[in-house]
Amino acid sequence: MKEKTNDRRNFLKNSTAAAGLMAFPFLNNNILRNYTTEIVKPIQLQTYDSPRLKFAVIGMNHGHIYGQVEAVKKGGGQLVAYYAKEANLLADFAKRYPDAKLVKDEKEILEDKSIQLVLSSAIASERAPLGIRVMKSGKDFMSDKPGITTLEQLSEVRKVQKATGRIYSIMYSERFENKATVKAGELVKAGAIGNVIQTIGLGPHRMNTKSRPEWFFDKDLFGGILTDIASHQFDQFLFFTDSKKADVVASQIGNVHHPQYPKFEDFGDVMLRGDGGMGYIRVDWFTPDGLKTWGDGRLTILGTDGYIEIRKNIDIAGREGGSHLFLIDNKETKHFDCAAQVLPYGTQLVDDILNRTETAMTQEHCFLAMELALKAQKNAQRINLKK
């Protein structure tokens, strides 16, 4: 017990020190500019020789599960068990994680008191019901996005989360798993571009129809384009504008080029207004085959003293790799190499599970991002292009 108390004290001490970066409003612009572009260094996270907690996987219908597992492992988690209904999904997972145990049904995981956290990338519409079962079993839950596909599911998840006090986390990987976006968070919080006014989030994707399962084309199962892939952008809008309340000003969706999939949507966009700034989101399934990656994901963060642009997966101007960050202020245009940037989400989530804190993401932020996505989806005007 004493060791856990000391760990918690050290954790809170380090968190307080990090929060102290925000406490320098008296710095002049020149000092602040040097601070943000030169002195802000990547977070250094502790490595762990022994497991801090045990976790399991239930459902692996999307490949994002591998990123979820690796994030928790880096945070000191030990994968001990996994289950999926679909036998064809198990072989690759078992090959990658031979030390984990394949169980016969999810009850073995839910009834195992040594397991503290369950991860899932099940079919999207099944994630919230599973998360409810996980929380009722006394465990915390981390879902792939979208973690919730209807407003009715959201209401029930919120109710159970409040009643149980468990963590329901959604891994918005375009922020948590992109090094340039994590770096942007550090820069914005340090004041590099002044006060944020607006975010513009673009999430283009490539279809790859031959490799997609049937549920991917059924809106009842994947939730709709704004619920699904735009959930990333809603999360980033709230985070970078520091909005605690927000409204969907307008939204539209459509299936403009894939009539062979009548329950699919290939385009959507949204205008947002929050108490901390404005936002625009566009998502689509029109990445051409000539691009060397699945999508030219971009994020622009407009501030009063400059702006940041992130090219998440590729710089079409020629720089190699992804996670490109460009900062433009009143002095210069600067490109950041984010290769050494640490991704803290997995470690912070494990910390939160052990310490019952909210450092990876507050519960309300997690739910509000999905609430906005679900409302935008439900109230969207339908596009009908005649060409």
Q: Write out pLDDT tens, residues 74-87.
A: 999 999 999 999 99
CA dist 195 and 303 (Å) reads 5
Q: For the residues 332-360, what does the mean pLDDT come to?
A: 96
Q: How far is CA 174 from the centre of its chain?
A: 6
CA dist 87 and 294 (Å) reads 27
Q: For the residues 99-114, what does the mean pLDDT come to?
A: 98
Strand partners, 274: 246
- If asked whether residues 130 and 146 sit together in one domain, one would say yes
CA dist 226 and 212 (Å) reads 18
Q: Domain with 99 in it: what CATH number? A: 3.40.50.720
- If asked whether residues 160 and 179 sit together in one domain, one would say no
Strand partners, 248: 272
- If asked whether residues 162 and 276 sit together in one domain, one would say no
pTM of the model: 0.88
Strand partners, 284: 204, 267
Of 171, 205, 227, the residue at which a domain comes to its end is 171
pLDDT category of residue 31 using cuts at 50, 70 and 90: very low
Q: Is residue 261 part of a domain?
A: yes
Domain total of the chain:
2
Of 133, 150, 171, the residue at which a domain comes to its end is 171
Count helices and strands in the chain by DSSP H and E runs: 13, 15
CA dist 57 and 122 (Å) reads 10
pLDDT category of residue 43 using cuts at 50, 70 and 90: low
- If asked whether residues 340 and 203 sit together in one domain, one would say yes
- If asked whether residues 140 and 235 sit together in one domain, one would say no
Burial pattern 317-348, b for ≥16 Cβ within 10 A else e, equals eeeeebbbbbbebeeeebebebeebebbbbbb
- If asked whether residues 188 and 154 sit together in one domain, one would say no
Residue 18's SS3 state is helix
Q: Domain containing 314: what range?
A: 175-344+375-382
- If asked whether residues 241 and 128 sit together in one domain, one would say no
Q: How many residues does the chain have?
A: 387
